[in-house]
Amino acid sequence: MKETKSKKLDPEKVMERIAEASRPTVAGVEEKDVRHWVTIYVMGRGYSVPADLTILTAMEYAGYKFIRGCGCRQGFCGACSTVYRRHGEYKLQTGMACQTRVEDGMYLVQIPFSPAEKASYDISKEAYKVNTLLKHYPELARCVACNTCTKACTQDLQVMDYIQAAIRGDFETCVNESFDCIQCGMCALRCPAEIVQYNMAQLARRLYGRNDRPEPKHLTDRLKEIEQGKFVKPLDEITKKSKEELEKLYYSREKESD
């Protein structure tokens, strides 16, 4: 088989698309400027909105005001979880409202938060073993490997894989597979075993970071530099720059390679 490489998304282009999708709400839009319209249904009521908007912006365009369930607007905080069905399809879809585009005939509803129990613990007193995960999240043992959590994930993470890794005591795999979780809660809402996957994985990452990862030298060096006042003058200089100067400085910065 020929191996294919997935395309890497350009973060700057993604941010530009999100900003463009949010423009009608921020700056307003004239109906004469809209080339295509779609009909969406929010709580059973239909609305005509400009095509290619994100769900979040489309709902605001339709007149909804978000008091909660709207955070960073750029796909990082997990606050705008959405459940929807496409017209003519039986399958229930999940996504983040700030990233997912509206489609004609889409039926949707917002999930402003996911009610879930979060264990309380002192990480310095917890043993670095799988029994600690089971102590605080005993429902972990009820996993039936149905993969519903993975299908529900808005980030396309292999949730079931990191749950199974946690059960085996494979902290490293659990940590790596769950690292990009934004804790939107969709996996827990759909899980038949009622596991709170994201809270359990957070505990696993804390245990792994405390017990299995040495303190990085570059971090300790940087902390010493901060304590010695190395960055006081540069910080003072940058806070005095104008918006235009800051933008020029930002776009001319040295970027890390992929």
Give the tens place of pLDDT for each residue, 18-53: 666 566 555 556 666 677 899 999 988 999 998 888
**CATH code at 11-26+34-111:** 3.10.20.30
pLDDT at 78: 86
Confidence of residue 15 (pLDDT cuts 50, 70, 90): low
Residue 162 has pLDDT above 80, yes or no: yes
Q: Span 114-242: which CATH code?
A: 1.10.1060
Q: Which of 45-54, 74-83, 103-112, 162-171 has the highest mean pLDDT?
A: 162-171
The pLDDT of 87-112, averaged and rounded, is 89
pLDDT digits (tens, 9 = 90+) for 101-125: 999 999 998 887 778 889 999 999 9
pTM (2 d.p.): 0.70
Q: pLDDT at residue 155 above 80? A: yes
Residue extents of the structural domains in the chain: 11-26+34-111, 114-242
Indicate the pLDDT class of residue 216, thresholds 50, 70 and 90. confident
pLDDT confidence bin for 8, thresholds 50/70/90:
low
SS3 labels along the chain: CCCCCCCCCCHHHHHHHHHHHHHHHHHCCCHHHCCCEEEEEECCEEEEEECCCEHHHHHHHCCCCCCCCCCCCCCCCCCCEEEEECCCCCCCEEEECCCCECCCCEEEEEECCCCCCCCCCCHHHCCCCHHHHHHHCHHHHHCCCCCHHHHHCCCCCCHHHHHHHHHHCCHHHHHHHHCCCCCCCHHHHHCCCCCCHHHHHHHHHHHHHHHCCCCCHHHHHHHHHHHCCCCHHHHHHHHCCCHHHHHHHHHCCCCCCC
